[in-house]
Amino acid sequence: MYIVVKRVSKTSEHGIKEYTAEIKIISQLRHKNLVELKGWCHEKSELLLIYEFMENGSLDLHLFKQKSWLTWDKRKRIAYDLASALSYLHEDCKECILHRDVKSNNVMLDSNFNAKLGDFGLARLVDHDKNSKTTMLARTLGYMAPEYVMTGKASKESDVYSFGVVALEIACGQKPIGYTANEERQTTLVEWFRIYMGLELF
C-alpha cells in the first residue's frame, strides 16, 4: 500500500493541538470525498499522521503549477466532490464539523481525478444549530469570509464562502490573492471577479 506521512513540526506552536484535533475528528469519518486517515504515531516526540496516497497531488498543482491540464469535465467533478464533502461534514455527521481551512492545496486528487478534502488540523466540532466559538483566525488569506475576518467566528457559511473561492479558482484559473490590472495593490479573487463582471462591491 502506498501512503503519505504527514510529520507535525516539533517547533509548531499549535502542532500538538492540531495533531490531536486531526485524529479526533477525521478518524471517525468515512466518506468517499475525504482523505482517509490510515493511522498515527506519537513516539519519541514524533507526531506522525498516515494518510492514503493521492496519486495526482493537490488541486493547486494542476491549477497554478501546470502539473496537468484539467478539462472542464474534470473541473466540474472536482467542484461537485468538494461540495459533497462539505455537505457531509456540515449536515450528515452527528456533530457539525467546520473544516476552517478549505483551499485548493487541501483538495487532493486520486488517480481518476476524484477530489477528496484533507488536512483537518484546524477543524472543529460544533452543535448543528450553533456556530464555532473560536476567536482565533485559522485560515489562509484570500479564502476567509469577510464576517469571519471581522468576528473571528467560523461557521458553515464561512466554510461555504471558502468553497466558493475554490470554485472561482477552478473556473477562472486565478489565485485567491492577486494584483489589480495596474499592479498597484493586492486584491482578492472575489473582488477581482466582481470588478471583472461589473458587479458592485458589498
Q: Which is more confident, 186 or 81?
A: 81
Q: Which of 60, 101, 119, 159 is catalytic?
A: 101
User: Active-site residue 101, yes or no?
Assistant: yes
Residues 64 and 169: their CA atoms lie apart, in Å, by 9
Asked if the structure places residue 47 within a domain, the reply is no
Give the pLDDT score at 57: 95
User: What integer is the mean pLDDT of 13-38?
Assistant: 87
Tell me, yes or no, whether 36 lies in a domain.
Answer: no
Count of domains observed in the chain: 1
Q: Give residue-wise pLDDT tens across range 172-195.
A: 888 887 655 555 556 777 776 666
Residue 117 lies in a domain: yes
CATH code (residue 68): 1.10.510.10
Q: For 112-139, give the DSSP string.
A: T--EEE---TT-EEE-TTS-----S--S
Judged on CB neighbours under 10 Å (0-12, 13-18, 19+), 179 is exposed
Instruction: Give the least confident one: 57-61, 163-167, 193-197.
Output: 193-197
Q: What whole-number distance in Å separates Cα of residue 15 and Cα of residue 18?
A: 5
Residue range(s) defining the domain that contains residue 139 = 54-197
Residue 2 forms part of a structural domain: no
pLDDT value at residue 78? 98
pLDDT at 126: 87
The three-point CA angle 130-83-30 to 5° equals: 80
Q: Is the pLDDT of residue 136 over 60?
A: no
| Confidence band of 46 (pLDDT split at 50, 70, 90) | confident
- Residue 99's pLDDT is 94
Distance CA 92, CA 113 (A): 24
| Average pLDDT value for the chain | 85
Query: Per the structure block, which three cell numbers stand in for 101?
Result: 481551512
pLDDT at 107 over 80: yes
Q: Are strands 107-109 and 186-188 parallel, antiparallel or unpaired?
A: unpaired
Residue 79 lies in a domain: yes
155 pLDDT above the threshold of 80: yes
